[in-house]
Structure 1
Amino acid sequence: MKRSMFISAIALAVASANIHAQESAPYENWVGGFVQHYGADSEKPEPMGYLDDGSTFGAELGFRFDPQWAVRFELSRIFLDMQGPNRPGNGDDGTMLGADLMFFMEDDAAYLFSGLREQSIRESYRMLSYGIGKHWEATEKVRVITELAGYRDFGQGYNEYSVKLGLAYIFGDTNTTPVRKDTDNDGVYDAVDRCPSTPVGVQVDATGCNIDTDADGVLNTADQCPNTPAGTKVGVNGCAIKDADNDGVLDANDSCPNTAAGTVVNAKGCAVNLDKDADGVLDSKDKCLDTPMTDKVDSEGCSVLVEKEVSIALDVLFGNNSSEIENPESAKILEFVDFMKRYGNTNAVIEGHTSAVGRAAYNEALSQKRAESVRQMFIDKYGIEASRLTAVGYGETQLKDTSNTAEAHRINRRIEVKVSTKVKTTATR
């Protein structure tokens, strides 16, 4: 009963395959023979468990009704060794009938399959089959079959395996163009494309590779330097044309091949005698090409520096009994800020002074507070480094006007900023 149901299932699968083959475009069908190494479950049959590995030979018939799908039927003869003290003889044999549904991967790289097996070795066993294999093309009509399969018994849970090697003959209409993929759309199918990621629009050869790999305008077939860096000037052989001093004149035509960088040259690559800043030093030797017209220069065209003494005094006014600055953006303050930024190595002492009105101790504290207020203004408002500024309060000890008048008091309420240093400045012509 079981065997008849199994044969009926196979017949139904054959009929289905034929229908699909008639309705769809024809693909490869095959008939083949094979041998297998068969690994039997060591516990089979229970309770004696005497079967061991063996071999099989058989035949198969396949119908491919779609680029990816096929059905296959097998009939094989099994010869198994025996092991253990309960073995009844030197071996056992039987038959196995099977049917599989097969899925072929892209470009027929391999196929996966699963199906049913009806095995008869003294007893009948119905098993699930599954595995992976590949058809290797030997000729237009012949394929080499390689396959690894596993089997799971439905009834008693036996697990077995086989390794197959066989030959298949292709029959039927095989002229149908197979499905071919061209991932990078360069006109060369992936199966033969050695460069499957070529950018869109790039011209390629028969192998799908760029015909000018380094994009220097020289085709690979004639390019003796196929990896020239982008932007390099090349000759007809695709190799770099050298310009050692980068003056725009190729070495082959350069009469002065060691011209300094930035030098204006003529057609022969030699320096043109120019003096752009009119300082008396030709541009080819001038290391300071933009010297001001008023500066005296040395033999290299750079300004000559001399040292001189510089001193600035600055008055800052405050209200009575106040450390708030009345004129934070006066011309004198801005002049001092410019000086400090121009001469970055100078330091300044900010001196605070008050009028003679009030107690001396109070005036000294007020003058210190005023000096510190000015120092902080220069730091916060004008960005002068704190380390360059020092604040000192003198109170009423250094009056500018000793008369006891309102005007004298106003003048005495002041800040004097003193800076004195030697700075370098340019000599004039």
Structure 2
Amino acid sequence: MNNKTKLTAVAALTAVAMSASAWAEEGVMQPSQGWFVGAQLKHAEFDGDRKDANGNEIRRGTLAGLELGFDLSEKFAWRLTAANADLNSDGAGEDESGMWYGADLLYHINDKRNYFILGADYIDLDSEATKAAHLGFGIRYNMTPSWVLTGEAMVHQGFDEGYSDFTAGLGIRYYFGGHKPESKPAPVAQLAPVAVVDTDGDGVVDSLDECPATPMDYAVDQSGCTLYREETVSKRLMVNFGNDSAQVPSESREDIQELAEFMEKYPQLNVVIEGHTSSVGAQAYNQQLSERRANSVSEILIRDYGIDAARVSAKGFGESNLLLKGSSEKIHAANRRIMAVLSVNEKVGIRK
């Protein structure tokens, strides 16, 4: 190939590479895929050493042909080409003609808009048949999902004679597989805003609240139910009596009523009224006196406050369980008494 021809080949390859980006930007349609067929029209510039049958130098010519190919993957494809060669010879009375066959491997870049070409040629002209390898660059424009325009430029290097040739041209290609559809994300349903309602104001919305009527000043769990702690609740009753008397003092009635109310609140409780005396007097008499004192309080609980008799019992201890020991009147007064102690464990709500 002479210097002028070489410069032409380099310029053509450069132009193809520089225009590839601009053309590819226009071909924004999704790349085609699968089997394809196409037609090509190319211009050829030949090595100055290539001669026709009369010894005249073959300069240039036109190649018109077909292609058949298949995409092996997103990056690679193969194809076969066959073109009729109509060539011009210097000083010849008639043109040189023949067939130009090729087998190519295409490597796609830039989302299949540009590609490199590597392959082999078999050129069968009137004057001779030669073999060559070629390297080139191509660009493509996706007109529709199936129809594609191509532009290619290649340098061909002969195996036997060492010829260096150049071809460049345009083509149109049809893909049987169509385009590979883009996967689109499923539409996201627009949900209507849900009103957040917390009727009892405990911080748990109604849709999750299993205890919808909890007091606002109590702590709740994640289900909206009141948090509790175990607490022992007790009630103590002590009534003091006059000397040698089992009559309940009127001022003690209020304390007995409170005990009755405690028992109504906790119906699981029973009470034992314990009667006691001071150490003054005979022991047997004091035993009887303590029993009468216990019975008098028991009767008030049952008769006046409606406590079930089965829940109330009376027991006298006489002077066996003195509250205080000694012989003063103050000590004796403290020992003349009845006593009752009730206690129960209950759940108590935890306040905020």
TM-score bin (small chain): 0.3 to 0.5
Q: TM-score, normalised by structure 1?
A: 0.34
Rg larger in structure: 2
Q: TM-score, normalised by structure 2?
A: 0.41
Larger RCO: Structure 1 or Structure 2 (Cα < 8 Å, ≥ 6 residues apart)? 2
